[in-house]
Chains A and B, each alone.
Chain A
Amino acid sequence: MSAYFRNIGIAISTLWDGMRLTWKHFVNKKELNATLQYPHEKWPIPERHIGFPEASYNIIRSRLHVDIDNCISCRRCERACPIHCIKIDAVKAPKDHELGQTSNGTDKKLLVARFDIDMAECCWCNLCTYDCPEECIYMVGGPNGKKHPIDYEFSKRDRNDLVFQFATASDEQVAEISAAAGVADPRAARKQRRENYYLPDGGQAEAVDVKAADKADKPAVDKPKVKAKPAEPKMDMSALSVIEDRVVRGLAKKTAMGAVRAGKQPVEVAEAVKAALSEAGKLTAALETIIGQLAQATITQPEAAATEKPVAETKAAKDTPEGEIDLSVLDGITDRMARGKAKAILNRAKRQGGPVAAAVDEIRTTLSGLGKLNSEIEEILAKLEG
């Protein structure tokens, strides 16, 4: 029975103890409160003192900052960035517009109309900072602490606020310099695009294709679709193919090709090859005879008409179903190597719109040089000519 009452007594006293304790905490919140209300209050940033001078600290991957007054708009940082989160628009100022100099003494020739870094995309690889010739883009804090205090948080309520805009040029300045330089004002163009894209009531225009508008915004340059290869003289070098030593063959061919491109005659080409090989200490009697054959080879000068043919026309020629050249005829050749070579030559001729007869001749010489020419192939080639 006494244990029962003792039990109740202990229960009451311990419960009361607990309540006293929580009461103490309840009324003493000024002193005991452990919460730091983060955006409103912050801990001081601890100083780094590990026994080195500031400058020898490692870079702190905190936040990028651009000293825009020192930027020459060379766009190296933009190109270095692996994820393209730096966006620069620049206008080349005409001669009579001085933009001043950077602190390194470099003349600024371009006006920075836009220098945006999307820190939400940045991967803090720090690659952009190494390339900057003016050392004006850098990670803040650490060794750069003197230039800009560290900013390790930059928390924002809106993701768009993470696009840091560094360009300081005023709208008027950009407009003025663009007008003087005779180019489109990039900033006004961007604004216009936005306005076109978003209707006044906040909706989105259907008809405007933003990507197209973006493209249209860029200076229109009529780039040729296919780069025309510079017309080069060609020489039949199959004679050299019999050289067994790989290194020697390569050297010989390379030299010969260089000589041909330089506009040398076959005899001179052979001389050049001989000289190159003797210089390398590889020239033997057997090689000399092979190279001698080279002197007899012909150099085909490029046909101006063939290379200058517009792309569309060649395409059209290709599209004609019964073209002069039908590659499938060559499928009859059993020897794999010979078939490949023949097809390659014919194909090239077809692309350049050259005559079939010349191509067949070339095939013949090539294959005979390789010792692959036989009656079967002769028959097929004759069919091709006929």
Chain B
Amino acid sequence: MTSFTDSLIKGLLDLGLVPGGSAALALVGAVIFLGVAVFLLIALNALIAVYFERKVSAFMQDRLGPMEAGFFGFAGGKRFWGGIAQTVADALKLLGKEDIIPTDTDRKLFIIAPFIIFGAAFCAIIGIPVGYGLVISDFNIGIFYVVAISSVGVIGIILSGWASNNKWSLYGAMRAAAQIISYELPIGMSLLLVVMVVGSLQFHDIVAWQETNRWFIIHSPFTVIAFLIFFLSGVAEVNRTPFDLPESESELVAGFMTEYSGFRWAIFFLSEYANVAVVSLMTAIVFLGGWLSPVGGLLRTFSVADGWYYLEGPWWGAFWISVKAIFLIFVMMWFRWTWPRMRVDQLMYTAWKVFIPFALVNIFLVGVWELLFA
């Protein structure tokens, strides 16, 4: 399987752009290039997602959302694209803000905490394919890698809460720790059943299985439940409403982010939306057929006809996976602007008494299903 890194190294070497043709130098060049690209992608993702979220929330609350800021003739007013430059303006404002580090903080930890969170999100994106071969690094333990590395973010959250030397932040950090540890389990278990069926941890293999068989969400009645558990636990992992206890504005001000401002706070924001994208992409790949076209998928599922595959291929694949991921992001926003925040005990109840038992039973039932029908 080729990945962006491989093709980039190969391209650099073939074009003779690397002095001495050293493979190590080519690797360094490729890594730097892709790192910058991923960073820009994350920033762009946050800009668009924030605008999207503000619009979605506004429409759900009978408002209009940002309507005035615009550029290139797209100046606000009563158009539907009104306020399209709002998040750009907000980002510039954030970058222009004073960088405040409160006196009694643990300076070093306070400074590195946001970057740990961001680093976790960044690393998770590296392992996620957005089309056949469109991946920065194709791990053969892809699922395991992404789940593991995205949990590292919680260290950053705990550090930021601790280093802030603020009771709200500390509460937020403790809640985040409890929450993320709890919700790791249902996530792992719902993924486990997929891995069990496919027999591989590699994203490409999982999608290939769905291509030859069917999407996992309709694999069996139990995988629908697994899908719901995975997606909801994913929402909890990225600390979004109704699971946003670590940063609940109304009780904890902003939880672990209370003391952060300006650029550092922007880093938190970037990672939050990067994580949202990671969870959506994961769900899309594992349960919704990844980059497979729904058209071809449906046709194959019901064995209607073969040969309707013109909507497939790597770039169409990128399109389809984006559609699925954006739909899931929209659903997350829909959750956020509908459901009230949970209480801490309800949060624990949901994880330990509902999601985990159901996920465990699911694994067993899917095993039985596979024995009977595969």
B62 engages A29 (CB within 8 Å): yes
A19 engages B334 (CB within 8 Å): yes
With contacts A29-B59, A32-B62 taken as known, whether A8 is within 8 angstroms of B354 at the C-beta atoms is: yes
- Closest A residue to B242 using CB positions: A15
Is A124 an interface residue, CB under 8 A from the partner?
no
Could you write out 17 A-B pairs with CB less than 8 Å apart? A18-B339, A19-B334, A19-B338, A21-B338, A22-B337, A25-B59, A26-B56, A26-B59, A26-B60, A29-B64, A32-B62, A33-B63, A33-B64, A34-B62, A35-B62, A37-B67, A41-B78
Is A23 an interface residue, CB under 8 A from the partner?
yes
Size bin of chain A's contact surface: 10 to 19
- Closest A residue to B358 using CB positions: A8
B78 engages A40 (CB within 8 Å): yes
* A37 neighbours in B (Cβ, 8 Å): 64, 67, 77-78
* A4 neighbours in B (Cβ, 8 Å): 353
The 5 closest A-B pairs by CB, nearest first: A22-B338, A22-B60, A35-B64, A18-B338, A32-B62
B62 engages A15 (CB within 8 Å): no
* A22 neighbours in B (Cβ, 8 Å): 60, 334, 337-338
- Closest A residue to B331 using CB positions: A19
* A33 neighbours in B (Cβ, 8 Å): 62-64
Task: Tell me the smallest distance from the CB of B30 to a CB of chain A, in Å.
Answer: 43
* A23 neighbours in B (Cβ, 8 Å): 334
* A15 neighbours in B (Cβ, 8 Å): 338-339
* A29 neighbours in B (Cβ, 8 Å): 59, 62, 64
Q: How far is A21 from B339 in the complex, measured between Cα atoms in Å?
A: 11
* B63 neighbours in A (Cβ, 8 Å): 33-35
Residues 32-68 of B contacting A (Cβ, < 8 Å): 56, 59-64, 67
Q: How far is A29 from B67 in the complex, measured between Cα atoms in Å?
A: 14
Residues 38-56 of A contacting B (Cβ, < 8 Å): 40-41
* A19 neighbours in B (Cβ, 8 Å): 334-335, 338
- Closest A residue to B350 using CB positions: A11
Task: Tell me the smallest distance from the CB of B354 to a CB of chain A, in Å.
Answer: 6
Q: Mark B333-368, 1 if CB is under 8 A from A, else 0.
A: 011011100000000000001100000000000000
Q: How far is A33 from B65 in the complex, measured between Cα atoms in Å?
A: 11
Which residues from chain A sit less than 8 Å from chain B, CB to CB?
Answer: 4, 8, 15, 18-19, 21-23, 25-26, 29, 32-35, 37, 40-41
Task: Tell me the smallest distance from the CB of A341 to a CB of chain B, in Å.
Answer: 71
Main secondary structure of the interface of B (DSSP, over half): loop
Q: How far is A67 from B6 in the complex, measured between Cα atoms in Å?
A: 79
* B354 neighbours in A (Cβ, 8 Å): 8
How many inter-chain contacts with C-beta < 8 Å in the A-B complex?
Answer: 43
* B61 neighbours in A (Cβ, 8 Å): 25
Task: Tell me the smallest distance from the CB of B229 to a CB of chain A, in Å.
Answer: 12
Inter-chain pairs besides A15-B338, A25-B61, 14 sampled, C-beta below 8 Å: A18-B338, A22-B334, A22-B338, A23-B334, A25-B59, A25-B62, A29-B62, A33-B63, A33-B64, A35-B63, A35-B64, A37-B67, A37-B77, A40-B78
Residues 90-141 of B contacting A (Cβ, < 8 Å): none
Interface centre among A8, A26, A29, A41 (most CB of B within 10 A): A26
* A21 neighbours in B (Cβ, 8 Å): 338
Q: How far is A19 from B335 in the complex, measured between Cα atoms in Å?
A: 7
* B59 neighbours in A (Cβ, 8 Å): 25-26, 29
- Closest A residue to B330 using CB positions: A26
Q: How far is A94 from B337 in the complex, measured between Cα atoms in Å?
A: 75
Task: Tell me the smallest distance from the CB of B238 to a CB of chain A, in Å.
Answer: 18
- Closest A residue to B335 using CB positions: A19
Task: Tell me the smallest distance from the CB of B38 to a CB of chain A, in Å.
Answer: 32
* A35 neighbours in B (Cβ, 8 Å): 62-64, 67
* B77 neighbours in A (Cβ, 8 Å): 37, 40
- Closest B residue to A20 using CB positions: B338
Task: Tell me the smallest distance from the CB of B340 to a CB of chain A, in Å.
Answer: 9
Q: How far is A164 from B339 in the complex, measured between Cα atoms in Å?
A: 52
Q: How far is A41 from B61 in the complex, measured between Cα atoms in Å?
A: 20
Task: Tell me the smallest distance from the CB of B248 to a CB of chain A, in Å.
Answer: 18
Q: How far is A268 from B77 in the complex, measured between Cα atoms in Å?
A: 89
Q: How far is A95 from B60 in the complex, measured between Cα atoms in Å?
A: 72
B64 engages A25 (CB within 8 Å): no
* B335 neighbours in A (Cβ, 8 Å): 19
Interface centre among B60, B63, B78, B339 (most CB of A within 10 A): B60
Q: How far is A21 from B77 in the complex, measured between Cα atoms in Å?
A: 28
Interface centre among B56, B61, B67 (most CB of A within 10 A): B61
Task: Tell me the smallest distance from the CB of B58 to a CB of chain A, in Å.
Answer: 8
Residues 2-27 of B contacting A (Cβ, < 8 Å): none
* B60 neighbours in A (Cβ, 8 Å): 22, 25-26
Q: How far is A32 from B334 in the complex, measured between Cα atoms in Å?
A: 18
* B337 neighbours in A (Cβ, 8 Å): 22
Q: How far is A165 from B197 in the complex, measured between Cα atoms in Å?
A: 81
- Closest B residue to A33 using CB positions: B62
Task: Tell me the smallest distance from the CB of B98 to a CB of chain A, in Å.
Answer: 27
Q: Mark B71-89, 1 if CB is under 8 A from A, else 0.
A: 0000001100000000000
Q: How far is A309 from B349 in the complex, measured between Cα atoms in Å?
A: 104
* B78 neighbours in A (Cβ, 8 Å): 37, 40-41
* A18 neighbours in B (Cβ, 8 Å): 338-339
Task: Tell me the smallest distance from the CB of B21 to a CB of chain A, in Å.
Answer: 55
- Closest B residue to A41 using CB positions: B78
Q: How far is A22 from B241 in the complex, measured between Cα atoms in Å?
A: 15
Q: How far is A33 from B339 in the complex, measured between Cα atoms in Å?
A: 21
Q: How far is A4 from B338 in the complex, measured between Cα atoms in Å?
A: 24
Q: How far is A29 from B55 in the complex, measured between Cα atoms in Å?
A: 11
Q: Mark B165-199, 1 if CB is under 8 A from A, else 0.
A: 00000000000000000000000000000000000
* A40 neighbours in B (Cβ, 8 Å): 77-78
* A8 neighbours in B (Cβ, 8 Å): 354
Task: Tell me the smallest distance from the CB of B312 to a CB of chain A, in Å.
Answer: 31
Q: How far is A19 from B59 in the complex, measured between Cα atoms in Å?
A: 13
Q: How far is A303 from B205 in the complex, measured between Cα atoms in Å?
A: 122
Task: Tell me the smallest distance from the CB of B9 to a CB of chain A, in Å.
Answer: 46
- Closest A residue to B82 using CB positions: A37
* B62 neighbours in A (Cβ, 8 Å): 25, 29, 32-35
Interface centre among A23, A32, A34, A37 (most CB of B within 10 A): A37
- Closest A residue to B354 using CB positions: A8
Interface centre among A18, A19, A29, A34 (most CB of B within 10 A): A29
Q: How far is A275 from B56 in the complex, measured between Cα atoms in Å?
A: 98
Q: How far is A32 from B58 in the complex, measured between Cα atoms in Å?
A: 11
* B64 neighbours in A (Cβ, 8 Å): 29, 33, 35, 37
Q: How far is A33 from B67 in the complex, measured between Cα atoms in Å?
A: 13
Q: How far is A19 from B63 in the complex, measured between Cα atoms in Å?
A: 17
Q: How far is A19 from B334 in the complex, measured between Cα atoms in Å?
A: 7
Task: Tell me the smallest distance from the CB of A34 to a CB of chain B, in Å.
Answer: 5
